[in-house]
Amino acid sequence: MSGQDVFGAAPDADAIEGIARDTIARLPQAFAAHLGDVLLLVEEEADAETLAALGLEHPLDLTGLYHGRPLGEKSSMDSGTMPDRIHLYRQAILVEWVETGVRLDDLVRHVTVHEIGHHFGLSDDDMHALEDAVAD
């Protein structure tokens, strides 16, 4: 699938995940080495509990979310916690894709890098630089 197929069925969760995993594979080794325990999940949309916690009313308002503690805040005393997770929300990504006309692979790459950035505690400027590093 190309990054901008506009005819036929909407890209499924596997297609979104494939783009996200390709993005992760392109990360500089310094970042990739610290993502081994982070789960990547592609879901149809955020659940009501997640939306409420973020003060959002509609699931299409959230394309991705990082659940976990940034690396710089982790402690060797942490135990029994859920693994860090990156959630990509397919329906919201597809709506943004259609509304903006941005290439699907560029959009998924952007959301994926943004959530990875939260894992590392990066600033928005650092996230943009990382996104440029993984671009085609």
- pLDDT, one tens digit per residue, over 64-123 is 999 887 665 655 555 656 788 999 999 999 999 999 999 999 999 999 999 988 888 887
Contact 113, 130 (CB under 8 A): yes
Instruction: Report the pLDDT averaged over residues 14-34.
Output: 90
Distance of CA 68 to the CA centre of its chain: 13
CB neighbours (10 Å) of residue 54? 12
Contact 118, 96 (CB under 8 A): no
Could you tell me the pLDDT band of residue 125, with boundaries at 50, 70 and 90?
A: confident
Which residue in 84, 82, 136 sits closest to 108, CA to CA?
Answer: 136
